[in-house]
Amino acid sequence: MAFVDLHLHSRFSDGTYGPEELAAQARRHELAAIALTDHDSVEGCPGTAQACAAAGIGFIPGTELTAEHDGNELHILGYCIDTRNSRLLKQIARFQAVRQNRIREMVARLNQLKVPLSAEAVFALAKCRAPGRPHVARALVAAGLCASLDEAFERFLKKNRPAWVPKFKMSGEEALDLVHQAGGVAVLAHPGLNRADQVIPHLVEAGLDGIECFHTKHSTATTEHYLEMADRFHLLVTGGSDCHGMSKGKPLIGTVKVPYQHLEQLKARAAEIKQLIVTRVDS
The binding site for Fe ion (CB under 5 A) comprises: 14, 75, 189
CA distance 162 to 32: 43
38 binds Zn ion (CB under 5 A): no
Report the distance separating Cα 26 and Cα 32, nearest Å.
8
Where in 4-23 is the site for ligand AMP (CB under 6 A)? 14
Interface with ligand AMP includes 39 (CB under 6 A)?
yes
- C-alpha–C-alpha distance, residues 203 and 212, integer Å: 14
133 binding ligand AMP? (CB under 6 A):
yes
The mark string for 244-263 relative to ligand AMP (x by CB under 6 A, - otherwise) is x-------------------
DSSP character at residue 83 = T
Give 168 or 268: the residue with its C-beta nearer to ligand AMP. Answer: 168
Binders in 225-264 for Zn ion, by CB under 5 A: 242
β pairing state of 33-36 and 72-79: unpaired
Neighbours of 142 (CB within 10 A): 14
Q: What is the chain's Cα-based Rg?
A: 19
Cα 98 from Cα 102, distance rounded (Å)? 6
**Of these partners, Fe ion, Zn ion, ligand AMP, none, which one is at the site of residue 152 (CB under 5 to 8 Å by kind)?**
none
Angle between helices 119-126 and 86-112 (to 10 degrees): 140
Backbone phi, then psi, for 6, in 5-degree steps? -105, 20
Q: Which is nearer to ligand AMP, 14 or 21 (CB)?
A: 14
Considering the complex, state which of residue 215 and residue 244 has its C-beta at the smaller distance from ligand AMP: 244
- Residue 262 interaction partner, one of ligand AMP, Fe ion, Zn ion, none, beta carbon < 5-8 Å per kind: none
Nearer to ligand AMP, 14 or 209 (CB): 14
Residues that bind ligand AMP (CB under 6 A): 14, 39, 132-134, 149, 153, 158, 167, 244
User: Can you give the binding site for Zn ion, defined by CB under 5 A?
Assistant: 64, 242
